[in-house]
Structure 1
Amino acid sequence: MHTQNVNVKTAAHESSRKIGVGGQAYTLNQMTDLFVYVLENARHQKQPGFFVPPAGGDLMVARSDELNETILIWMLEGWPLAISIPENNFLAVLTGITA
């Protein structure tokens, strides 16, 4: 698994900052879009009891010190797969199984 860590300052303008995952560069705005995409689509899908990250996947990690939260986005072959905020025990996974 490939991991990329990012510190996020919520008050600062970060749109030009690039985060690389699997050879692909993402801005913080794109990471936000990926998070929202998984959040919106996972609510219509059956959620697993636990999540095991896939072998060969990528993990993006964004940390907000102001909110005291860590945001995790798992990607597989360039597609978003799951999101998590561990401090809130939040997990959403794109399972492909209708709820």
Structure 2
Amino acid sequence: MNTHNVNTAAQEPSERWGNQNLTTAQVHDLFSHIIRHGRTINNAPAAPGEGRDLTELRITDTLTWLTVSVWLLDGWPCAVSVDGFPSLVVLGNELFPG
């Protein structure tokens, strides 16, 4: 699993996310998209898909101090989580069938 951390208060518009080549605004867009179109898995593990090749994109908002994660599976967004909340929102059935 790969993790990329960012402090949103000090972001430059050209900030990129490792091999994903995403800006902070694009990561926020992915988070919003998955929240709107995904399904909630309550009491989910902190890291979805244990043993899978996942990349975690983490953003911490310094105004609310919430840290959100967008999870990528094989380079595609598949889940989001918020630190301190025991649920995930997932797209598709790759991580949690059913």
Q: TM-score range by the shorter chain?
A: 0.7 to 0.9
1:59–1:74 CA contact under 8 A, matched in 2:
yes
Q: Could you state the TM-score of these two structures normalised by the residue count of structure 2? A: 0.75
**Number of equivalenced pairs:** 92
Q: Could you state the TM-score of these two structures normalised by the residue count of structure 1? A: 0.75
Deviations 1:7-53 (Å, cap 9, x if unpaired)? 111xx664322122xx22110111011111111111xx463542452
Residue type at the aligned position of 1:17: E
Q: Give 2:41's aligned residue.
A: 47
Q: CA deviation at 1:89?
A: 4.5
CA-based RMSD of the aligned residues comes to 2.5
Change (3 A) 1:33 1:59: same
Secondary structure at the aligned position of 1:40 is classed as helix
- The percentage of aligned residue pairs carrying the same residue is 29
Secondary structure at the aligned position of 1:61 is classed as strand
Specify every segment of 5 or more residues in structure 2 that has no aligned partner in the other structure, as ranges. Answer: none
Specify every segment of 5 or more residues in structure 1 that has no aligned partner in the other structure, as ranges. Answer: none
